[in-house]
Structure 1
Amino acid sequence: MNTNKSSKSSSKPDRKIIEKNRRNYMKCLCSQLNSIVHHHASSSRESLTLSDQIDEATKYIKQKEEIIAELKQKKDHLVDVNGKLSSRKGYSLNSPVQIEVHVKGSALEVILVTGLECEFVFTEAIRIVLEEHAEVVNASYSVVGTTVFHSIHAKIGEDAARPEVARITERLKKFAL
Structure 2
Amino acid sequence: MKKRSSTSPEKLDRKTVERNRRIHMKALCVKLTSLIPPNHFKPSKEMLSQHDQLDQAATYIKQLKERIEELKSMKALAMSSNNTNNETTNTTTDDFKLPVFELRDLGSSLEVLLISGLKRNFKLYEVISVLQDEGADVVTATCATVGDKVFHTIHAQVKVSRVGVETSRICQRLQELIIC
Question: What TM-score comes out, normalization by structure 1 length?
Answer: 0.48
- Structure of larger gyration radius: 1
Give me the TM-score of the superposition, normalised by structure 2: 0.47
